[in-house]
Structure 1
Amino acid sequence: MSDATPSTLETLAYPWQQGDWQRVKQLLSAGRLPHALLLSGPAGVGKLRFGRAFASLLLCESPQQVACGQCRSCQLLASGSHPDFREIAPEEGKRQIAIDQVRTVQQFAAQHAHREGGRKLILLHPAEAMNHFTANALLKTLEEPAGTTVLLLLSHAPSLLLPTIRSRCLQMSLAAPEPAAARQWLGQQLGDAELADTLLSQTGGSPLAARALYETDTWGRWQEFDVGLDNVIEQKMPALQLAEKQQEVDAELVLDWWANRLMAVNRHLLAGDKLPGGGWERWHGMSPTAVYELLDDVVRSRSQIRRGVVLNKRLLCESLILRALDLLAATPA
Structure 2
Amino acid sequence: MSEPQHAYAWQMTQWQDLQRLISAERLPHALLLAGPSAIGKLRFAKALVSYLLCESPGDLAACGQCRSCHFQGEAAHPDFKEICPEEGKRQIGVDQVRSLQHFSAQHAHRNGGRKLVLIHPAEAMNANTANALLKTLEEPASGTLLILVSHSSSQLLPTIRSRCLQLSFGIPRPEMTESWLRDYVGDQSTAQRLLAETGGRPLAARQVFEEDGLASRERFDKGLIALVDGQRSPLQFAEEMLDADILQVLDWWVARLLSLSRHQLADQVLTAESWQRFKAVPSVSVIQGLERALKLRASFSRGVALNKRLILESLFLEWTQLCQNRAVS
Fold match by TM threshold 0.5: yes
Query: Which structure 2 residues correspond to residues 183-194 of structure 1 after superposition, within 5 A?
Result: 183-194=178-189
1:234-256, Cα deviation, whole Å (9 max, x unpaired): 33444433212211122222222
Of the three residues 18, 23, 26, the one matched with 2:20 is 26
The corresponding residue for 1:265 is 260
**Which residue of structure 2 lines up, in the alignment, with residue 3 of structure 1?**
none
Distance 1:38 1:204 in 2: 23
Aligned counterpart in structure 1 of residue 124 of structure 2, from 87, 110, 129: 129
1:36 to 30, 39, 49: 30
Deviations 1:16-72 (A, max 9, x none): 222221111111111111111111122122111110011001101112212110011
CA distance in 2, matches of 1:17, 1:291: 32
1:70 partner SS: coil
Match of 2:172 in 1: 177
1:1-333 correspondence to structure 2 within 5 Å = 10-65=4-59, 66-277=61-272, 279-332=274-327
CA distance, structure 1, for counterparts of residue 313 and residue 3 of structure 2: 45
After superposition, what is the alpha-carbon deviation per residue over 1:152-178, rounded to whole angstroms, capped at 9, x for unaligned?
111112121111111111111123322
CA distance in 2, matches of 1:235, 1:202: 27
Moved more, 312-321 or 46-55: 312-321
- Say how many residue pairs are matched: 327
Larger mean CA deviation between 165-174 and 215-224 belongs to 215-224
Does the Cα contact within 8 Å between 1:37 and 1:152 map onto a contact in 2?
yes
Partner Cα distance (2:325, 2:271) in 1:
21
CA–CA separation in structure 1 for the residues paired with 2:189 and 2:161: 40
Q: Quote the sequence identity (%).
A: 51
In structure 2, what is the Cα distance between the partners aligned to 1:314 and 1:142? 40
> Which has the higher mean CA deviation after the structures are superposed, 287-296 or 234-243?
234-243
Q: Secondary structure at the match of 1:122?
A: strand
Q: Select between 78-87 and 242-251 the one with higher mean Cα deviation.
A: 242-251
Q: Does the CA contact (< 8 Å) of 2:30 and 2:147 recur in 1?
A: yes
Q: 2 CA distance for matches of 1:87 and 1:127?
A: 12
Tell me the distance in 2 between the aligned counterparts of 1:218 and 1:87.
Answer: 30
For the 8 Å contact 1:223–1:278, the answer to whether it is kept is no
Relative to structure 1, the CA distance from residue 203 to residue 166 in structure 2 (aligned partners, 3 Å threshold; closer, same or farther) is same
For the residues of structure 2 that align with 1:315 and 1:294, how far apart are their CA atoms?
A: 16
1:105-152 Cα distance to aligned partner (Å, 9 max, x none):
222111111222211110111111111211110111112222121111
Superposition deviation, residue 227 in structure 1 = 1.2
1:55 aligned partner, one-letter code: V
Contact 1:8 1:80 in 2 (8 A): no
- After TM superposition, what 4+ stretches of structure 1 lie above 6 angstroms from structure 2? none
* Deviations 1:215-270, CA, capped at 9 Å, x for gaps: 13333322211111112223344443321221112222222221111121111111
Give 1:8 deviation, angstroms: 6.2
Q: Relative to 1, partners in 2 of residues 1:37 and 1:97: Cα closer, same or farther, differing over 3 Å? A: same
**Higher alpha-carbon deviation: 221-230 or 51-60:** 221-230
Secondary structure in 2 matching 1:154: strand
Q: Secondary structure at the match of 1:285?
A: coil
